[in-house]
Amino acid sequence: MAISVSPELERLIAEKLQSGEYRSAEELIREGLSLLDAKEKAAPSAVSHNGQSIAEMAAAIAKSVPDEEWDRLPTDFSKEVDHYLYGAPKSSQ
């Protein structure tokens, strides 16, 4: 397989080969792809977990919160979000 790289990448490959760190461009590219593969395998999926969507995970977490805790939440939170998050005066006052 033949690949084309930008002049910047070509310069970087040449520098790595001149340093003696790698014996060939193929070895250098293999190492880079190996690191990329390891990074992708280590990164958690932001889309789902065990086949669940984020909404399903949030619903499962919400079910684990006792009703008494939900009762403690202010009923005007959506209208007074700036008050509860940032300490701004309530708009209804």
What does the DSSP assignment read for 25-52?
A: HHHHHHHHHHHHHHHHHHSPPSSEETTE
Number of domains in the chain: 2
- Structural domain boundaries enclosing 24: 7-42
33 & 55 share domain: no
| Average pLDDT over the chain, rounded to an integer | 87
Q: What percent of the chain has pLDDT over 70?
A: 92
In a domain, 2, yes or no: no
CA 78 – CA 85 distance, rounded (Å) = 11
Confidence band for 3, pLDDT divided at 50, 70 and 90: confident
What pLDDT, in 10s, does the model give residues 35-78?
Answer: 999 888 887 655 546 778 889 889 999 999 999 999 998 999 88
61 & 32 share domain: no
In a domain, 1, yes or no: no
